[in-house]
Structure 1
Amino acid sequence: MSAPPRPQLDSLTAARGIAAWLVVLFHIRSGMPWLPADVLHVIHKGYLAVDFFFILSGFVIWLSAQGEFAARGLGATPAFLRRRLARIYPLYAVMLALTVGFVLLLEATGRSTAGYPWAELPLHVLMLQNWGFTPDLSWNHPAWSISTEFAAYLLFPLLVLLFSPIARAPRWVILGAMACLIGILAVGMQALGYTNLGGHIVKTGLARCIAEFAMGCLLCALWQQGVDRVSRTVAIVALLGGGFVWAGGFTNELIAFPLVTTALIYLIADHSQRGGKIARPLVYLGEISYATYLSHFMLFIWFKIALVNNAANIAPHLIALYVLLTLAASVILYHGIEKPGRRLAGRR
């Protein structure tokens, strides 16, 4: 008997696209001092979109792969990892190669190559750069999260073994396990002296990803038990209540953001499952979001070299041009590299 088809959660895809653009705005915020202070304050928190990605990734991976592990056990691991590498590595490799070409051009023209240490390049090729081997971010900075996601993929078979009994337990057990993960992450970050989730990515990024990825797995297990009026109401209360205590300064984002995000993803998934519609352009932004995420940082560097005189105050029309170029690059990379590369890598 074939497995039942997985639900098409277009709302989550659209949310991923919005999150990717929050990361873009976060990385270009220093060039937009002309924005209102309140807007800049929100954009300054754009790094939290990466935490949204981690939780959402755990949710989606559990939804797509847990059934195969339940049926085949650890024997499902090779095929799972092959699919994940086919999904992420072709575009990752192309962006890394373009960055290497850029650095070679810098060297050929006698310019500084600080931030692109050749000794660390093998770690980037193997997607190990944010596993605690380096002191700082280097090369294509946003790829640090792909490195930690790769670690989460490697751990996923063990998470399935660990979480499967919890996934079959009553909902309060799953909620308790998620609360434990939120608490462990918060206590660990505070022990290192950080009160926000973006503190020192090189030190905390790997643990941050794995903890939040695990939260997403448990969240999906909770969602798979079905959403009724009570659970939907609890999620709404958690979303609004978490946002209120965070905005009011009663707690920091270490606790509030995972709580708000898990509630939000739960409600968004419920919206899609109940047949809720989402605008097709937003879904498409989500489909090309990986290309947006991997390309925007280096593209901004190249854009500034070519067209910007004052990187601390970039004219609005140039920011608009950069946004359009990033969108165009995302479309080209998605259709020209990511999708064909995924098919080719999958066959091999």
Structure 2
Amino acid sequence: MQSNRFVYLDGLRGLAALFVLTRHTESFWGFSLFRSYLAVDLFFILSGVVIANAYGRKLASGAMSVTEFSVIRIIRLYPVFFLSFLLSAAIPLGQLLRRPDAELTLEALLIIIPLTALMLPSGMSRGAALFPLNGPYWSLFFELIVNVLYAVLRPRLTVVRTLAALLLLGLVCLVAALDRGSLNIGFTWGAGSILAGFARAAFGILLGTLVHKVIHKAPRTLRTRAAPWIAMAAVLAVLASPSMGEADAIIDMLAVSLLFPLCVLAASHGPRTKLDGALLALGSGSYPIYVLHQPVAHVTSFLLSGSQTALTPYGGIVLVAMLIPAAMWIERAYDIPVRRWLMAKYARRNGALPATTA
């Protein structure tokens, strides 16, 4: 760990956010990256590492309550989420003004909008997206649930129990992946999909907490100067890899359960470089990129009257070139100040609260 930040992990997080962006904005690129959906599983693993590092000992010892931890997590996620929500809600409302027969009716939006504002799923029928306003919200929903469960169970969460839980959750993920044909599941309505989405989040986050336990015991082969860069290259190769047909489910599970943890472990070490600032900036902007890319792409497509398909892949490059600095500015000028204000307000009402909102 370097000055309480995992620099190369920030870089991994930022790159994963860009892969999610390309997946949801294919009309800007003219191509698709089949296995880019696994970037979400990488997010879950990274989240587990960060949470265990920042709060694991405090939760285990009772120095931090479940309520305090939950408040910190909501404060960490909500300001940028709310900004994204406002933009995401404005889009279908604008569509209704232009076309009364828009896909989302006013009656549906009267239910969807308030539920989404509370970070709750709001699909209107079986098979519909859990979050019709902005699809990627599904992972935040499950992440918060798993975070709270982790806080509740942490005092009793031994390594053996963690391994047992991972075995069970991994089995659920494997069965769901084999049934669907890949691990690209968990974001639509239906009992099986919701169970799979929870299992993906819980498996990744718990796996991340386990990786954190062994960070300082990593073998020397994972502590070389080149190891973090090799790890990044391996992750990028997987996320950009094509479909392998019937083998996709097995490949996905091997990537998430074996390759990604090893890459995260390798990327947890490494010397300082001239690129530290860029890696940290990319990591800081990853969350705004993740929750803002879909509504921003929709607005951009509307302004271009759908002509982005004729500009591929340059339209995608311009979209990324706009989003990265905008995300970094949002994090610096809006997210951090708002989080500090919310933390200070909560602390005044409830006594001292740890300053971190990792």
Q: What residue number does 2:280 align with? A: 283
* Contact 1:195–1:254 (Cα < 8 Å) also in 2: no
Gaps of 5+ in 2: 346-358
Matched, 1:126 2:123: no
Q: What residue number does 2:218 align with? A: 227
Report how far residue 109 of structure 1 moved.
Answer: 2.4
What residue identity is the alignment partner of 1:188?
V
Of 335, 338, 343, the residue aligned with 2:340 is 343
Matched, 1:269 2:268: yes
Q: What is the alpha-carbon root mean square deviation over aligned residues?
A: 3.4
Within 5 Å, which residues of 2 pair with 1:124-203?
124-129=116-121, 135-137=127-129, 138-163=132-157, 165-166=158-159, 177=164, 180=167, 183-190=170-177, 193-202=179-188, 203=193
Q: What residue number does 2:331 align with? A: 334
Q: What residue number does 2:348 align with? A: none
Alpha-carbon deviations, 1:30-87, whole Å to 9, x = none?
A: 4433x5xxxx4xx2221111110011101110111011112216x5212211111111
Distance 1:259 1:88 in 2: 28
Report how far residue 7 of structure 1 moved.
Answer: 3.6
Distance 2:310 2:91 in 1: 24
Q: What residue number does 1:169 align with? A: none
Matched, 1:97 2:96: no
Distance 2:344 2:40 in 1: 30
Q: 1:132 to 1:14 in 2, by over 3 A?
A: farther
State the percentage of identical aligned residues: 22
Of 314, 318, 322, the residue aligned with 2:319 is 322
Paired residue total: 319
Report how far residue 200 of structure 1 moved.
Answer: 5.0
* Contact 1:130–1:148 (Cα < 8 Å) also in 2: no
Q: What residue number does 2:24 align with? A: 27
Name the SS for the 2:343 alignment partner.
Answer: helix
Distance 1:300 1:69 in 2: 39
Q: TM-score w.r.t. structure 2 length?
A: 0.77
* Contact 1:178–1:215 (Cα < 8 Å) also in 2: no
What residue identity is the alignment partner of 2:128?
D
* Contact 2:29–2:315 (Cα < 8 Å) also in 1: no
Q: TM-score w.r.t. structure 1 length?
A: 0.79
Distance 1:70 1:31 in 2: 46
Report how far residue 315 of structure 1 moved.
Answer: 3.5
Distance 2:155 2:125 in 1: 28
What residue identity is the alignment partner of 2:333?
G
Q: 1:150 to 1:174 in 2, by over 3 A?
A: closer
Q: 1:315 to 1:229 in 2, by over 3 A?
A: closer
Q: What residue number does 1:13 align with? A: 10
Alpha-carbon deviations, 1:95-126, whole Å to 9, x = none?
A: 11222223322222235542574222333122
Q: 1:159 to 1:115 in 2, by over 3 A?
A: farther
* Contact 2:281–2:328 (Cα < 8 Å) also in 1: no
